[in-house]
Amino acid sequence: MHSIFREYDIRGIFDIELNETIVKKIGYFLGKRVKKFGKYVAIGYDARLHSPTLFNWLTSGFNKAGVEVLSMGMVPTPVNYFSNYQEFDIEDKKITPSASVMITGSHNPPEYNGFKITIDKKPFFGEDIYKLGDEVVGSDIVIEDNEKYHFIDAKDKYIEYMNEKFSHISSLDKKIAVDCGNGVAGIVIEPIFNSLKLDFNSLYCEPDGTFPNHHPDPSEEENLKDLKEALKEADLGFAYDGDADRIAFLTKEHNFKGDELAIIFAKEIENPVVVGEVKCSGIMYEEINKIGKAIMYKTGHSNLKVKMKEVGADLAAEVSGHIFFADRYFGYDDAIYATLRVLELIKNGVDFDAQIAKLPKVYNTPEIKIETSEEKKFEIIEKLKESLKNPPADFPKIEEIIDVDGVRVVFEEGWALVRASNTTPVLVTRFEAKDKERAEYYQKKILEILDMIM
C-alpha cells in the first residue's frame, strides 16, 4: 500500500488500494496532524462515482481523531483551496478551516481517486506524505463509522468572489467555448459566465465520473477535438482537467501552453517574479528575465506553491496548464481564475496571437516518456549526471547542466531534459532547439547515453 503515498498527493484505485480500512486510517492520522493547527478540516470531492464513499470513510477517520469535518460537497479543486482563506458560520461561530482535503483523481482513469491535502494553508507533500504512509500501513487501529459533518457553501462563496473581482469584464464581445470534460469545472464556470453576461457555449459541463465523451486531460491533443470544432463558431476556447486546476486556452490560431501564458501574464505585472518548472521553454525564462525575474524549479504543484512563497513570486506555471497567481490572488493553481485573467487581458485589448507571434521561434517536443521501474528511475538520473561529466567525443557542447529536478542539459542552440516522474515509473524527457532537426539531434544524443546506462 505504500505506493499510493506519492510526492504530491495520495492516489490509487478505489476499493483496492484506497479501501475502507486504509482511507479511515488516512483520515485518523492526518487528523492528528491537523489538530496541531486547529480542529476543522474542509473536505470537497470531484465528480468520480466513488468520491462520496471516500468522503464518508475519510470523515470517520477525522472524527476519530477529534477533528470536525466541514463538507463542501462536489467542487473543483480550486474551490477546495479557496476554502482555506475564508470564514464560515458554524454553530454561531465564524471559523476558518485549519486544513483541507480534496478528494480527486484529477485526470487519471475513472477507477482512480485520491487526496490533495493542505494544512495551515501549505501543501502537505513529499516526506510528510511518506511519513503518513508509514503510520497508516503500520497501524492496526480499528475505526468505527462516524460520518458526522457540518456543511459549508464554499462553492457559492467562490462564485461570488469571482463575480465581484471580474465584474469589469462583463459583456465581453467575444464568443467563448468551454469544454469541461464532464469534470467539475462546469458547476462554477457556468454560473460565473452567466453572471458576467458572457457569450459562451458549454461542452460536457455536466459532471459525470464515467467521462463518457473524452478523458478530462486537456494536455492531450486528442481530448481537444470537440473544442477545436466548436472554435469554428467561437473566438476563444477553454478546456479543463477533471478537477479544474489545469487550463488549456485555444484561439483559432494557437493552443497556448502554460509557459506561453506565463509570458503574457508576466508582461502585465510590474517587475514580475515568476517561477517555472524545468519543462518550461527557454524562451519563457529569457522573455521574463527582460522585464523581471524568472526562477527555474522542480515540477509539481506542491513544489511550485512552496517556492512561490519562499521567493515572493507573483506567478508560477507548468507547461501542462497549472497556473498559479499570487498577484491579486492566493498563490495556488486555479484554472477558473486563470480563465478570467485571460478574458480580462482580452477585454483590455491584449492580442494573445500577436503576442505569441512576436516571440523567437523554437521547436519543442511534447513530453516523451521512457518506461522504467520505481526502483531504477532515480538511479538512472544519477548515472546520467555522472556520464555527462565525461560525455562521448561526438556529444554536442554542453553550456550548463541544471539539476534542480532531474537533468536539464543546456546546449548552444537548445536544451534537453530528463527527469524521473514523481507519480509514475517513467523517465520524462523533453527537447527544445531553434528547429526540429536540432531538437531531434539533441534527443538522439541523449537517448544514446540513456541506452548505455539503462
Catalytic residue among 6, 214, 301, 322: 322
Catalytic residue among 11, 50, 408, 430: 11
Task: Tell me whether residue 106 is one of the annotated catalytic residues.
Answer: yes
CA atoms within 13 A on the CB side of 366: 5
Cross-strand pairs, 74: 45
**12 near 18, Cβ under 8 Å?**
yes
CA atoms within 13 A on the CB side of 285: 14
Owner of C-alpha cell 470517520? 60
CB atoms within 10 A of CB 230: 20
Cross-strand pairs, 239: 179, 248
The H-or-E segment that residue 127 falls in is: helix 127-138
List Cβ neighbours of 424 (8 Å cut-off, separation of 6 or more): none
Q: Which of 344, 300, 353 is nearest to 322 (CA)?
A: 300
Catalytic residue among 83, 106, 302, 320: 106
Q: Is 270 left (phi over 0), alpha (psi -120 to 50) or beta?
A: beta
Q: What is the maximum alpha-carbon separation in the chain? A: 74
Fill in the amino acid letter for 197.
K
Positions marked catalytic: 11, 106, 322
